[in-house]
Amino acid sequence: MIPHYVDIPGFEIVVIGGGGDLATRKILPALFAHHVSGHLSAGARVIAVSRRAIADPDPEHMWRQISPYVRHSDAADQFASFFERISFVQADATTADGSKRIVAALDPSEQVRRVFYLATAPAIFGPVCAALSGAGGVHANAAVVLEKPLGHDLESSRAINDAVGEVFAEEQIFRIDHYLGKETVQNLMVLRFANAIFERIWRADDIDHVQITAAETIGVGTRGQYYDHAGALRDMVQNHLLQLLCLVAMEPPSSLEPDAVRDEKLKVLRSLRPITGGDVDSHTVRGRYEQGAVQGEVVPGYHEEAGVDPARDTETFVSIRAHVDNWRWSGVPFFLRTGKRLWERRTEIVIQFKRVPHNLFRDGAGPQVGNRLVIRVQPDEGIELHMLTKIPGPGGMKHRRAPLNLSFASTFGEDLPDAYERLLMDLVRGKSTLFMRRDEVEAAWSWCEPISQRWAQTGQPAKSYVAGTSGPVASADLVNEVGRVWNEDDE
């Protein structure tokens, strides 16, 4: 259950970038969901900051902008009262003048929790923090939220962390990776550490390999310019995919306290076998989509998308064969894969268990495969355990694979909260377990950097794939050449 903040008498969320894409699609809809659910106390306020004047700050106009993204689309009548919680400030948050205007709009009392949500490009995180501090806006009860990706490599990430660290103590800094707020991702901990049947077999003795896939059907939308300078490795692997890998691979933490969990995740990141030099060529695949059809709709190639520079060789797809070099995971491949304009929207973790040591059934009785646990992160969140089961009837011992299916929607009701709803709650309360610590972010960059450097050095162009497929052929090879197949090829 999502905790309420009604017991927190007053708090202010200052969204620097309050008119931007993230604010419109995620932050404001999540806050509105809490408003509709009655979770917000009377003193909860939102301050939306942007450089441009918000064109038409009236509730009808704003509702039209955010309503496609809200969970309670039938709650239009409650938007006017939510709108009353919002103040709009036109200011450049990197300047002394602008920051003074922002701070002047805030409650001066330190009793009121103050959260600065930096929904802007990471390049200005440092200057914004310095300016807010200079304007007297940062007190002991203030926090700052940094969006991902934090920088574009290890050096820039360190520079941002240093600059923000000049103003805020580490426990006041919340580095967000919204995957950690997803219900199924949090459930991974419960699945592993509250169910004895899994934890005992959660190791190399019983697990053959792990697959983590984040497949999107969408292209770059209106974010072509941003994406073209990021690419799939920085946009998805460095943060979301490695965070999922950490939760799958980590040792049981001593508690759910932030540092206990984050210490264990950090150990996983530090145990990832570095992929460097020629190993990058054999252990990674980078791809880029060409024109094709995604679920029946013809879509352009990446180079035809708005905001994209065809001279840049940005990847929209990555797959990686990784290893976690520790006792638990010795010899178990972890296959990571993410891409845009793929065959379907699917984020999942597949735990492929080993086969039984001896096959009692004659050839042809059924597939000789191990059990498979599929954790569906999105859409249709849930867990499937694929078992071999006898086909009823007089066919001898003929059997096939069939899933035990725990769908969250049918078990707990349709209306699962969005990840941002959970994370906004936690940061108002100062709970940082589901946020990334500085050393985690930097360890993830350290692992990714030799990969991007090798790609840049060799100048090998990204492999093309037709939009609507499962990526370049080489991605299937990456898995097939070590005797495995991607989940969808095996269904």
Ligand X SMILES: NC(=O)c1ccc[n+]([C@@H]2O[C@H](COP(=O)([O-])OP(=O)(O)OC[C@H]3O[C@@H](n4cnc5c(N)ncnc54)[C@H](OP(=O)(O)O)[C@@H]3O)[C@@H](O)[C@H]2O)c1
Instruction: List C-alpha distances in Å: 333 to 208, 321, 377, 428.
Output: 8, 6, 21, 39
Q: Cα(257)–Cα(264) distance, rounded to whole angstroms?
A: 11
Residue 442 CB, nearest distance to ligand X (Å)? 18
Q: Which of 175, 147, 143, 49 is nearest to 443 (CA)?
A: 175
Residue 262 CB, nearest distance to ligand X (Å)? 20
- Minimum CB distance to ligand X smaller for 94 or for 157: 94
What is the 3-class SS of 130-168, one letter each residue? HHHHHCCCCCCCEEEEECCCCCCCHHHHHHHHHHHHCCC
Q: Using DSSP, state whether 53 is helix, strand or coil.
A: coil
Contacts of 123 (CB under 8 A, 6+ apart): none
- Minimum CB distance to ligand X smaller for 124 or for 434: 124
From first CA to last CA, the distance across the chain in angstroms is: 34
What is the number of the residue whose Cβ is closest to ligand X?
20
Residue 53 CB, nearest distance to ligand X (Å)? 8
Residues carrying an active site annotation: 240
Show the tokens assigned to 270: 């530090």
Tokens 């009692």 — which residue? Answer: 360
Tally the C-alpha atoms within 13 A of residue 47's C-alpha that lie toward its C-beta. Answer: 24
- Minimum CB distance to ligand X smaller for 127 or for 300: 127
- Minimum CB distance to ligand X smaller for 173 or for 191: 173
Show the tokens assigned to 137: 């806006």
Residue 17 CB, nearest distance to ligand X (Å)? 3
Residue 269 CB, nearest distance to ligand X (Å)? 20
Q: Cα(457)–Cα(16) distance, rounded to whole angstroms?
A: 37
Residue 162 CB, nearest distance to ligand X (Å)? 18
Instruction: Give 335: exposed, middle or buried? Use CB within 10 Å, 0-12, 13-18, 19+.
Output: buried
- Minimum CB distance to ligand X smaller for 51 or for 399: 51
Binding site for ligand X (CB under 6 A): 16-17, 19-22, 49-52, 92-94, 119-122, 124, 147-148, 223
Contact 490, 479 (CB under 8 A): no
- Minimum CB distance to ligand X smaller for 147 or for 426: 147
Residue 146 CB, nearest distance to ligand X (Å)? 8
- Minimum CB distance to ligand X smaller for 124 or for 373: 124
Q: Cα(139)–Cα(45) distance, rounded to whole angstroms?
A: 17
Q: Cα(354)–Cα(204) distance, rounded to whole angstroms?
A: 9
Contacts of 424 (CB under 8 A, 6+ apart): 13, 27, 30, 31, 34
Does residue 328 come out as left (phi exceeding 0), alpha (psi in the -120 to 50 range) or beta?
alpha
